[in-house]
Structure 1
Amino acid sequence: MTTPAQLDERYGRGPRRRLPMVLTIAAAAIVVGVFGWWTWQGSADTVDVTGTGFRLVDDHSVTVNFQITAPTNRPVHCIVEAQDEEFGIVGWRLVSYPASEKHSRAFTEHVPIVSAATTGLVNSCWVS
């Protein structure tokens, strides 16, 4: 014959052990905290770029106008490029900007080209 204590143990109605539950909750909290930190840290260093125009100066250079929004007091580096009508890169330039108190700044950069360009743009920017 089955006793009430055996039935309680079989169907989980007996005394519960809290240590595994507490450890599981603690591990889940640590995992969520780590992923939250990685997400915040990654977004804190982002640089947003808005192209405001370009102008073909002559057969050897393009002027690119753009605005960056970056973290304050961090140097920023950008790759500015010129492309032809088939989106091939015909000129590019790496530019570096010193740290600044301003969150948003506007720039105009000249890019030397090797053949006819139809557009100028900022490929990417990052903080260092």
Structure 2
Amino acid sequence: MPAGSEALAGRYGDTARRRLTTRWLLVGLGGFIAIVMIAWAVWGSGLGSKASNLQFTATASNTIDAQHITVSFTVDAPAHTAISCAVEAQNIGFTVVGYDVVHLKPTPKTHQVVTKSLITYEPAVSGSLDKCWLT
């Protein structure tokens, strides 16, 4: 450092002690942000909640006639939990032509197989399970 630099640094606040304090404040702030991000990710993933144990899969669809289709699906969920599932039918252009919500009552079973018949306003070529959620 040139002569007199330490006197200027002391006068205007650029001392080694201040640099060390600033460094520790930045490290602390970075650590705090990291902890908040990790907590948010764990909370957002539903880790440990009943919703994280909910799994559902469409297994089959069968077109009955121009206005009816059946959709079969399985649901794996914690016992004694009420569940609702949205089932839909699509036409050849992938437009939804039939839709219904199936409400499954709480049961001691953890695995359920469900078949739902949908009424459509156009001929459907496929049926699927849109989503399931805890109610």
Q: Same fold (TM over 0.5)?
A: yes
**What is the one-letter code of the residue matched to 2:115?**
T
Give the drift of 1:102: 3.1
Which residue pairs with 1:106 in the alignment?
113
* Counterparts of 2:123 and 2:65, CA distance in 1: 9
Equivalent residue in structure 1 for 2:92, among 85, 95, 98: 85
Does the C-alpha gap of structure 1 residues 102 and 36 become closer, same or farther in structure 2, counting only changes over 3 Å?
Answer: farther
User: TM-score of the superposition, structure 2-length normalised?
Assistant: 0.68
Count of equivalent residues: 128
Structural RMSD (CA): 3.4
Give the drift of 1:113: 1.3
**What is the one-letter code of the residue matched to 1:78?**
C
Residues 45-91 of structure 1: CA deviation (Å, up to 9, x unaligned): 14432111111122321111111223443211111111111111111
Instruction: Tell whether 2:122 aligns with 1:118.
Output: no
**What is the one-letter code of the residue matched to 2:100?**
R
Unpaired segments of 5 or more residues in structure 2? none
* Counterparts of 1:107 and 1:54, CA distance in 2: 12
* Counterparts of 1:72 and 1:27, CA distance in 2: 39
Q: Give the 4+ runs in structure 1 shifted more than 6 A.
A: none
**What is the one-letter code of the residue matched to 2:75?**
I
Give the drift of 1:41: 2.4
Instruction: Tell whether 2:43 aligns with 1:38.
Output: yes
Instruction: Tell whether 2:72 aligns with 1:65.
Output: yes
Give the drift of 1:29: 6.8
Give the drift of 1:118: 0.4
Which residue pairs with 1:96 in the alignment?
103
Same amino acid, percent of matched pairs? 24
User: TM-score of the superposition, structure 1-length normalised?
Assistant: 0.71
Residues 8-59 of structure 1: CA deviation (Å, up to 9, x unaligned): x966369x66x95896487347514631441342773144321111111223
